[in-house]
Amino acid sequence: MSIQVTRTSVHADRDWHDFYKKVTSESKRHAREIPFASMRHAFVSFACLGYAHGQYVEIDRGRRQELFIAPSFEQEHVPILVALAYSRLVSTGMPHEEAIQVVSNSNGFVPIVEGWAQGGAQIFKAALESGSPLATDVLMELVMPEVKRAI
Amino acid sequence: MIDRRGLLRAFSGVKDENLRALMARLVQVYREHEESAHAPLAHYRAAIESYADQYGDTLDPSYEEPLPTGPESLANGESGSGARRPFITLESLTVENFGSYCGQTTISLAPVGNRNVTVVVGSNGDGKSTLFMALNWALFGNDYIDELQAGQQRELADLVNRAAALAAGEQNCPVEVSVELAFSVEGVKYFVTRAFQATVTPRGEELSISVQLRPTKLRRLDASGNLADLLEGALVSLLSQLPARVRDFYLFDGEKINRFVAPGAQRAVRSAIRRVVGIEALETTAEHLRRVSAHFRSEARRLASGDLARIQDSLARRTDELARTQQDIERLKGESLGHRSRVEEIDAFLSSTKDTRPLQQRRKELEDLLKRYEEEEESLVFTLRELACHASTLFASEAVGRLIEELDRRREAGVIPGPISEQLIKDLLDLGECICGTPVGPEAEARRRLEARLDMLAEQSRQSEFQLGLFYQLGSSSRWVVDKAAQLDRGRKELSRIREHLRDARNMLKEVSEQLEGIEVVDRSGWEAERREREQALIRCEAKILSANERIEELKREIERLKVEEQREMQGQMEAAVAATRANWAEAAELNIRNVFAAYAAQARAEIERETTRLWKAMLPNVEAYRVSVSDDFELSAIDELGRPAMQELAMGQQQCLGLAFIMSVAQVAETKPPLVIDMPFGRLGSDTASSVAAKLPQLTEQLILFVLPGTEWNSSIQEAIGPALARQYSIKYDYEAHCTRVAS
C-alpha cells in the first residue's frame, strides 16, 4: 500500500507567496538568478532546509495562500516529505502507529510539512540577502556540504 | 634644342605682327645663347607669356598672306621681351558689420618705405580669420563665397555682425555689410567693394537673416584724384597680373602651407611649378599654332589635286591623330599623377593608422567564445538548479534515516509486514473446514469467530503494508537523491571549469578592448581596395602612355615620309605647296614651343629644388644633413645623407618650414614676389625656429601680412626678428558683450 496523494492544496503564508514567485521561473535564461524551476521544487527544498535548521513555523490557517496541489510533487520527494511530517509528529510525543496513520496520505503530511517549508523559506531569504546575486549559486552553496557528506 | 629654321619658316608669312615679333624674339634669344647648352629659358617664357596674355585666346587663324618673304627678315623684329610682372600692393582693408567687426573698421596694409610687414595680433576668436576672409572675398568675390560654403558650410548670412543684426532686428531695418580693399598696380590705385544687404527677422531667441548681394564696385583713382568706375571684369584682368589663382599660392590660412609637404602632394607641387613656368600661356600659344597649322593644312588640301591631294589627306589625318594622341598623353599623365598622389596619400594614411583588424578579429573571436561559454554555463546551471533542488532533500536525511531505522526495526521484529494468519483464515473460510477438522461452513459458530478475527487483522495489515511500502520508498528515494547529489557534484566541477574559462575570456576581451580604445577604427579594407584599384589604373595609364608614345613615333615617321612625297608632288602645284609649307612650319613651331616649355619646366623644377633647399637650410640650421628633391613625378621630399627619403623623420616644424621654403622659392623663381598673406605662420614652430623664419620672411616678398597669436606667435624674439621690417602692428580683441572686435594700432 503506497502513500495516498490526493488533490491536497499546498500552502504558504500569503505574505510569502510573492517570495515563492520571485524565486521561481521555468526560463533557462534566468536559471542563474532564479534558483527554482517551480514552486513545488522551492517548497520541497525549503521544507528540507527548515527541517535541517530546526525552524518550524506554523502557518496561520487564516493567512494561507495556495501554491500548488499535492499531485504535482515528484514521486521521489513524497516519502521524504512524509519522513519530515512523521519526524515532526513523533517529536511532539505522538506514538509511532498514530503518526504513521496521520502521514499516510497527503491530507495528513502536507499541512505539517508546510510549517517546515515556511521556516526554510525564511532561512533561504536570509541567505539570498547576504549572498551572491546569483541566487542559484546560493542554493548550491547551501546544498554542497550535504552533497559532499552524502557521496 | 630650338629649331630656329622651323620657327622662322613657320611665321614668315604670318600677318600678325605680335606673333612675328614673338618668334623673332625667340630666335634672337636662341642666337644670343647658341653656344651654350642651356639658354636662359626665362626669356623664352617671358616672350611667350607676353604674347599669349595679349592674343592667345583671340587670334583668328584665317591668315591670307602672300608668299613667304624670307626668314631672315624676321630675325630683326623686336618683342616684348623681358616683360616683368607688375607688382600689386595691398593698401588697406575696410570692413563694415562683417563677421566680428561692428560698424566700420579700416586697417592699413601698405608698406612704409622699406618696412613691408603688417602684423595683426589676436587670440583665437578675436577676428583674425575674419580679416583673412574679407581679403579673400574682396579679391575673389562669389568664387570665394562658394568655396567657403563648400569647405566650412558658412553662408553670407553667417558673416553679418551679431551686434548689428540684433540692432537691426530691434529697429526693423536692414544691415549693410561690406568689405573694401584698396590696392595699387604699378602705382595706380584701385578700390574693390563687395557688399550685401541683410534683412533681420527675430524668431524667438534666434535671428533669421536673408541677404541680398549688392553689385561689386571697382573704381580707379586717376591722376587728378578722381575715382572712375570700372566694369567688374576689369578686376579679373588686374588680378591676372598676379600669378594664376593667386589665393592658392599666396594667401595661406596656416594649414595650406603644409599641403606641399603632405603625402600625395604631387598635384599641388606640379600645379605650382606649371604656373611658374607659365604653362597656361605656353599651352595657349601651342594650341594657337596647332590651329594655324590645321588651317593651312586644310587650305593645302583644298588647293591640291591628284596624288598631292591624296598625300595631303593622309598628312591631315595623321597630323590630326598626332595632335589627338599628344592630348591623350597629357590627359593620361594627369590621370597617372592623380592616381600616384592618391596611392601615396593612402600609404601615408595606412602607415599613420594602426591596423586594428587583428585586434578586432581577436575581439570577435573572444566575443564568440564568451557567448559559447555563457550558453554552456546557462545550460549547465539550468540542469544543476534542478539537481540542487533534489539534492537539497539531503537536509532531510536525518528524518528519513530515523524513519527508515524505525521501520526496519519493526520489520525485523516481524511487526511488519504483519501476521500471515489473515491469509490462512481466508483460506480456511474458503475451504469451509479448519486444519483440525472443525467445520467452518456458513452456519458454523467457528466461522463467525474467524470472520471477526479477519476484520481486525485487515486493518493491521493495511497499516503494515503501508509501512513496508514506505520503508522501500524511502530507501529508493534516498538512493535517487544520492545519485542526483553525485550528478550535482560532477556538474559543479564542470561549472567551475566553464566559469574559469569565462573569467579568462572576459579578461582577455577587456585587454583587447582596452587596446582598441582610443584607436580610431578605420575600414582599412576599403582603403586597400582603393589602393589596388588606383595601382591598377596607374598601370593601365602607363601602358596607354607607352602605347600612345609608340603610336606618336610611328605617326611621326609616316608624316616625315608623307612630307617627302609631298615635296616631290608639290612641283607644279604652287598654291597648295605654299599652304602646305606654312602648315609644316606651324607644326614645327608648335613642337618647338612645347620643347621650350619642357626644357623650361625642367629648369624651373631644378631651380625650385635648389632654392627650396637654400631657403630651408637658411631657416633651420638643424637640417644641414638633408637636401630637398623635386622628383620627375613632382614629389617634394627631403633626402638624407644616404640618399634615402626622410620626410617622415622630420619634425612637424621642419616640415612646415620646408613647405614655406617651397612657397618662397616658387615665388622667387616666378620672379613675382606678390603680397604674401599668412594666417598663423609660426603655429607649429619652436621659438628659435620661429625667430629664424620670422627674420627671413620679410626679405622674400615685397609685402607681407601676418595674422599671429599673441605670446606663442608674437613673442619678444619674433618681434625682434621682424622688427626692422615692421611697418604696422594691430592688436585685435573681441568684446563678447558688445559682439564686436576692437582694433588698436
pLDDT tens figures, B192-203: 899 999 988 877
Q: Which three cell numbers stand for residue B743?
A: 582694433
CB contact under 8 A, B400 and A52: no
Is B476 close to A76, i.e. CB distance below 8 A? yes
Asked if A80's CB is within 8 angstroms of B400's CB, the reply is yes
Residue found under cell 598625300:
B311
In chain A, residues with a C-beta closer than 8 Å to the C-beta of B388 are 35, 45, 136, 139-140, 143
Smallest Cα–Cα separation from B46: which of B77, B8, B2, B84?
B84
B257, three cell numbers: 602651407
- Which site among A26, A44, A98, A146 would you substitute to test the B interface, given the most B Cβ atoms closer than 10 Å to its Cβ? A146
For chain A, give the mean pLDDT.
Answer: 94
For residues A39 and A26, what is the distance between their CA atoms, to the nearest angstrom?
Answer: 10
Interface ipTM > 0.95: yes
| B318-to-B299, B309, B566 alpha-carbon distances in Å | 16, 14, 14
Which candidate, B244, B86, B105, B243, places its Cα nearest to that of B177? B105
Instruction: Work out the pLDDT band at B259, boundaries 50, 70, 90.
Output: low
**How many distinct helices (H) and strands (E) make up chain A?**
6, 2
In-domain check, residue A120: yes
| Residue carrying the nine cell digits 528540507 | A48
DSSP string, B431-459: HTB-TTS-B--TT-HHHHHHHHHHHHHHH
Query: Most confidently modeled of A32-46, B124-138, B651-665, B684-698?
Result: A32-46
Contacts of B376 in chain A (CB under 8 A): none
Name the range with the highest mean pLDDT among B49-53, B255-259, B595-599. B595-599
Structural domain includes residue A2: no
Q: Which amino acid is at B663?
A: I
> What is the H or E stretch that residue B189 is in?
strand B188-203
Is pLDDT at B29 greater than 70 in this prediction? no
The residue written with cell numbers 520527494 in the block is A77
Whether A78 is in a domain gets the answer yes
Number of separate helices (H) and strands (E) present in chain B: 19, 15
Which residues in chain B are closer than 8 Å to A77, comparing Cβ atoms?
390, 393, 477
Q: Give residue-wise pLDDT tens across range B329-339.
A: 888 988 887 88
Q: Which of B198-202, B400-404, B591-595 has the highest mean pLDDT?
A: B400-404
Assigned C-alpha cell, B316: 591631315
pLDDT band at B305 (very low <50, low <70, confident <90, very high): confident
**pLDDT on residue A40:** 96
Cell of B437: 477438522
Between the CA of residue B559 and those of B188, B551, B554, what are the distances in Å?
A: 52, 12, 9
Q: Is the pLDDT of residue B253 over 60?
A: no
- A7 falls within a domain: no
Q: How confident is the model at residue B502 (pLDDT cuts 50, 70, 90)?
A: very high
Q: Does B388 touch chain A (CB under 8 A)?
A: yes
Contacts of B476 in chain A (CB under 8 A): 76, 79
Residues B10-23: what's their mean pLDDT? 52
Q: What is the pLDDT of residues B609-639, one digit of tens each?
A: 888 888 888 777 778 888 888 776 667 778 8
What is the per-residue pLDDT for B670?
Answer: 65
Peptide bond into B724 cis (omega under 30): no
The minimum CA-CA distance between B403 and chain A, rounded to whole Å, is 6
On the 0-12 / 13-18 / 19+ scale of CB atoms within 10 A, B412 is exposed
**Domain limits for position A133:** 13-150
Chain A residue numbers touching B480 (CB-CB < 8 A): 76
pLDDT at B122 over 80: yes
Q: Looking at the domain assignment, is residue A77 inside a domain? A: yes
Q: Is residue A82 part of a domain?
A: yes
Residues of chain B contacting A151 with CB distance shorter than 8 Å: 482, 485-486, 489
- Spell out the residues 6+ positions from residue B297 whose beta carbon is closer than 8 angstroms to its own: B312, B315, B316, B319, B579, B580, B583
**pLDDT the model gives residue B620:** 76
Instruction: Say whether residue B470 is in contact with chain A using an 8 A CB cutoff.
Output: yes
Taking CA atoms, what residue in B is nearest to A142?
A: B392
Residue B711 burial class via C-beta count within 10 angstroms: exposed 0-12, middle 13-18, buried 19 and up? exposed
Q: Using the beta-carbon criterion (under 8 Å), do B473 and A83 form an inter-chain contact?
A: no
**Cross-strand partners of B192:** B181, B218
Q: Hey, which of B239-243, B419-423, B427-431 has the most confident mean pLDDT?
A: B427-431
Region B521-534 average pLDDT? 86
pLDDT of residue B563: 84
Q: Is B120 strand, coil or helix?
A: strand
Amino acid at B128: K
Minimum distance, in Å, between the CA of residue A127 and any CA atom of chain B: 14
Between CA B564 and CA B583 the distance in angstroms is 14
pLDDT of residue B41: 46
Residue B208 C-beta-side C-alpha neighbours within 13 Å: 4
Q: Report the pLDDT value the prediction gives residue B401, as an integer from 0 to 100.
A: 95
Interstrand relation of B726-735 and B117-121 (parallel, antiparallel or unpaired):
parallel
CB B675 within 8 A of CB B705: yes
Q: What span, in angstroms and rounded, lies between the C-alpha atoms of B151 and B659?
A: 22
Taking contacts as CB-CB distances below 8 angstroms, the residues of chain A near B462 are 1
Nearest partner of B608 among B24, B42, B23, judged by Cα: B42
Does the structure show a pLDDT above 90 at B497? yes
Integer Cα distance of B657 and B680 in angstroms = 13
**Chain centroid to CA B2:** 42
Q: Say if residues B27 and B4 touch (Cβ distance below 8 Å).
A: yes
**CA B526/CA B370 separation, integer angstroms:** 29
Give the residues across from B177 on adjacent strands: B196
Q: What's the confidence (pLDDT) of residue B640?
A: 79
What's the confidence (pLDDT) of residue A77? 96
Confidence of residue B736 (pLDDT cuts 50, 70, 90): confident
Cell of B95: 570692413
- The C-alpha cell at A6 is 490526493
Highest mean pLDDT among B92-106, B158-172, B613-627: B92-106
Grid cell, residue B198, equals 541683410
| Residues 6+ positions from B193 with CB-CB distance below 8 Å | B138, B178, B179, B180, B216, B217, B218, B219
Sort strands B104-108 and B704-708 into parallel, antiparallel or unpaired.
unpaired
- The single-letter DSSP state of residue B261 is T
Q: Give the minimum alpha-carbon distance from A71 to chain B in angstroms, rounded to a whole number.
A: 17
Specify burial of residue B314 (Cβ count, 10 A radius: 0-12, 13-18, 19+). Answer: middle
**Residue B202, Cβ density class (10 Å: 0-12 exposed, 13-18 middle, ≥19 buried):** middle
Which chain A residues contact residue B394 at CB under 8 A? 48, 143, 146-147, 149-150
Question: What pLDDT is recorded for position A9?
Answer: 95
B396 vs A51: CB contact, 8 Å cut-off?
Answer: yes
First to last CA, chain A: 31
Residue B543: what are its φ and ψ, rounded to 5°? -65, -40
B36-45, B413-422, B593-602, B644-653: the lowest-pLDDT one: B36-45
Q: Is B684 exposed, middle or buried (0-12, 13-18, 19+ CB in 10 A)?
A: buried
Rounded-to-integer distance, Cα B148 and Cα B313, Å: 52
Contact B695, B702 (CB under 8 A): no
Asked whether residue A4 is domain-assigned, the answer is no
Name the band, by pLDDT with cuts 50, 70 and 90, for residue B62.
Answer: very low
Residue A59 DSSP one-character state: P
DSSP symbols for B356-404: -HHHHHHHHHHHHHHHHHHHHHHHHHHHHHHHHHHHGGGGGHHHHHHHH
Kindly determine whether residue B403 and residue A149, on different chains, have CB atoms separated by under 8 Å.
no
Domain boundaries, given as residue ranges, for chain B: 358-516
Give the Cα separation of B322 and B319 in Å (integer).
5
Per-residue pLDDT, B39? 41
Average pLDDT over residues A74-86: 96
Instruction: Kindly tell me the sign of the dihedral angle through the C-alpha atoms of B287, B289, B293, B299.
Output: positive
**Structural domain includes residue A6:** no
* pLDDT higher than 50, residue B80: no
In this prediction, residue A72 carries a pLDDT of 93
Judge whether B218 and B235 are in contact, CB under 8 Å: yes
**What is the mean pLDDT of the segment spanning B154-170?**
86
Q: Which of residues 105-124 of A touch B (CB under 8 A)?
A: none
Strands (E), B586-674: 627-630, 636-639
Q: Give the three-state DSSP class for B684.
A: coil
Q: What is the DSSP letter of B417?
A: S
Task: Determine the residue type at A50.
Answer: G
Which residue of B386, B387, B392, B408 is the best one to mutate when testing the A interface, meaning the one whose CB has the most A CBs within 10 A? B392
Residue contacts between A and B (CB atoms, under 8 Å): 148
Q: How many domains does chain A have?
A: 1
pLDDT digits (tens, 9 = 90+) for B352-378: 788 888 888 899 999 999 999 999 999
Q: Give the pLDDT score at A121.
A: 97
Nearest to B219 by CA among B232, B210, B206: B232
- Reduced to 3 states, what is the DSSP secondary structure of residue B90? strand
Q: Is B129 helix (H, G, I), strand (E, B) or coil?
A: helix
Q: Cβ(B452)–Cβ(B429) under 8 Å?
A: no
Give the residue on B whose Cα is nearest the Cα of A120: B395
How far apart, in whole angstroms, are the C-alpha atoms of residue B215 and residue B369? Answer: 70
Q: How far is B414 from chain A (nearest CA, A)?
A: 15
User: Distance between the two ends of chain B, CA-based, in angstroms?
Assistant: 57
Residue among B722, B677, B723, B663 nearest B89 (CA)? B677
Q: How far apart are CA B216 and CA B235, in angstroms?
A: 10
Q: What is the mean pLDDT of chain B?
A: 78
Greater model confidence, B199 or A50: A50
Gap between the Cα atoms of A73 and A69, Å rounded: 8
Is residue B34 over pLDDT 60?
Answer: no
pLDDT interval class at B75 (50, 70, 90): very low
Has residue B507 got a pLDDT over 70? yes
B579 pLDDT band (50/70/90 cuts)? confident
Mean pLDDT of B95-108: 93
pLDDT per position as a tens digit, A131-146: 788 899 999 999 999 9
> Taking a contact as any Cβ pair under 8 Å apart, which residues of chain A between 62 and 81 contact chain B?
76-80
Q: Are B646 and B657 in contact (CB under 8 A)?
A: no
Q: Count of CB atoms within 10 A of residue A56's CB?
A: 19
Please enumerate in sequence order all residues whose Cβ is within 8 A of that of B493, keeping only pairs 6 or more positions apart, or say none: none
